Amino acid sequence: MATIEQCRDALGRLSDSLTRADGAVRSAASMDRSLSCHLTDLDTTFRGRLAGGRILVDGAEPGPPREKAAIRLAMTGDDLVAVVGGDLNFAKAWASGRIRLEAGFRDLLRLRSLL
């Protein structure tokens, strides 16, 4: 099982890869939205923002998100690490229900290029 530190590191690596992206991915990542990532197996939620083409993590708190972020993710820590590491396809995991992604319709349309 992935640790909280491994998950924090994975979010950092994902943020770094977004800053190096170009085209439609860079456009999608340039939104300014609140973000939460609930790790269901660790019962921990990372909260922050997707802003300026980066994921800015403000902190982590126990349990599900206390406030509703504009973009909400939920998955296991192992799935987060696997997606960032390239061992799990995000779109397939989302389609099968392993990963939950909730956002407004317009945000989902912009985020589809990240999938």
Assign 3-class secondary structure to 68-106. CCCEEEEECHHHHHHHHHCCCCHHHHHHHCCCEEEECHH
Reported as half-sphere exposure (CB side, CA atoms, 13 A), residue 9 has a value of 9
Predicted local distance difference test score (pLDDT) of residue 80: 97
Q: Which residues contact 100 (CB under 8 A, 6 or more apart)?
A: 72, 73, 74, 75, 94
Domain ranges of the chain: 4-114
State how far the Cα of 3 lies from the Cα of 92, in Å rounded to an integer. Answer: 23
Entry pTM? 0.91
Q: What is the CATH number of domain 4-114?
A: 3.30.1050.10
pLDDT for 1-58, tens place per residue?
A: 999 999 999 999 999 988 887 777 677 677 899 999 999 999 999 999 999 888 999 9
Predicted local distance difference test score (pLDDT) of residue 115: 58
pLDDT for 69-101, tens place per residue?
A: 999 999 999 999 999 999 999 989 999 999 999
